[in-house]
Amino acid sequence: MAVVAPAAEEGSPVLSVENVDVRFGGIQALKGVSLYVRMGEICGLIGPNGAGKTTLFNCVTRLSTVTAGTIRLHGQTIETLPPRQIIRMGIARTFQNLGIYAGMTVLENVMLGAHHLSGGRFVDALMRPRRSRQREQEIEHRCRDILADLSLEDVADVAAGSLPYATQKRMEIARALASRPTLLLLDEPAGGLTHGEVTEFGALVSRVREAYGVTVVLIEHHMGLVMSLCDRVEVFHLGQNLASGRPEEVRANPAVIDAYLGRSR
């Protein structure tokens, strides 16, 4: 199903993905997929397992390479940038199966999120310890604020690997926020949460959007969360766009119902 580029009055797209193909050997993971994400919205990205949702995130963050199509952030093409430039462009993500450093403390993990802002200065670390320490303190201060914001201040100095899964997921969001993103890509952030935690988590995401002024793309299987939280939902199926629209429209769409019922999960 064709996706129409949003009209100008609906706000300029932060992220526009146009006709993207991705092939892994014999598998065509994405076929002519498009996605437009407007400034400030929470855009849900749903679809049965293997639909290509994570692959799309990987393309945007340059962990996978598109075989055709373009990806633009604020109108600038990014599909050929080196992976490490993506976070500098203002795109931060979380990983479906966690991309945390289990052996580091929560604070260290989150401070890594701010690495791209002023990090990697080996000569300064050796020769200008005072300046390095000052920079370190500023970043630590900001990261502790973010931790407090996400109710993680009590575990700041605990090794990330020893925390419950839900807390690790929250920490990953804190790390993404530490990078000062404009676009936040969350890959199944509510996976493994209990029912009560999911509600709480939804509140957290909307609060984060307000407080940090981020645009959010949310991959999620938890339909209740998607329906209550998202401004707009995009549905992928078998590597293609299936439907898009407001949550209630998408939920009533027979093609979407078929796609989900057709695949036992």
Partner 1 sequence: MNGTRMFQSAPAVLVASVALCLPVLAPDFMLFEFSIAVSYGIAILGLNLLLGFSGQICLAQGALFGIGAYTTAIFNVNFGMDPIVTLPFAAIVTSLIGVLIGLPALRLQGLQLAIVTFGVASAFPQLLLKMDSITGGVTGLAIDQPMAPRWFPGSQELWLYGLSLICAAASVFMLSRLLRGDTGRLLRALRDNPLVAESLGVNLTKGRLAAFAASSALAGLGGGLFCILNGFISPQSFLPMKSIDILIGGIVGGITSMAGAFIGAVFIVFVPGWTTAINPALGGLIYGLCLIAMMMVARQGIAGLPIGRGLQALKHLFNKKGLSRVSGAVPGQLGGE
Ligand X SMILES: Nc1ncnc2c1ncn2[C@@H]1O[C@H](COP(=O)(O)OP(=O)(O)OP(=O)(O)O)[C@@H](O)[C@H]1O
Q: Which does 24 bind (CB under 5 to 8 A by kind): ligand X, partner 1, Mg ion, none?
A: ligand X
Minimum distance from residue 229 beta carbon to partner 1 (Å): 24
Minimum distance from residue 68 beta carbon to Mg ion (Å): 21
For residue 105, list its beta bridge partners. 159
Please report, as a single letter, which amino acid is at residue 226: V
Rounded to whole angstroms, how far apart are CA atoms 92 and 57? 10
Minimum distance from residue 127 beta carbon to partner 1 (Å): 9
Residues that bind partner 1 (CB under 8 A): 61, 63, 83-88, 93, 95, 99-105, 108, 111-113, 115-116, 118-122, 125-126, 129, 132-133, 135-136, 139, 157-159, 161-162, 175, 179
Of 47-55, 73-81, 112-120, 167-175, the segment contacting ligand X by CB under 6 A is 47-55
Please report, as a single letter, which amino acid is at residue 245: G
- Rank residues 84 and 246 by Cβ distance to partner 1 and give the closer one: 84
CA-based nearest residue to 54, from 179, 46, 34: 46
Contact at 8 Å (CB) between 183 and 90? yes
- Return the number of other C-beta atoms located less than 10 Å from residue 159's C-beta: 15
For the window 88-127, what string marks contact with Mg ion as x by the rule CB under 5 A? Answer: --------x-------------------------------
Please enumerate in sequence order all residues whose Cβ is within 8 A of that of 11, keeping only pairs 6 or more positions apart, or say none: 38, 39, 40, 41
Rounded to whole angstroms, how far apart are CA atoms 26 and 50? 15
Helix (H) or strand (E) holding 93: strand 91-93
Q: How many binding residues for Mg ion (CB under 5 A)?
A: 2
Q: Which residues bind Mg ion (CB under 5 A)?
A: 54, 96
Q: Which residues bind ligand X (CB under 6 A)?
A: 24, 27, 29, 47, 49-55, 96
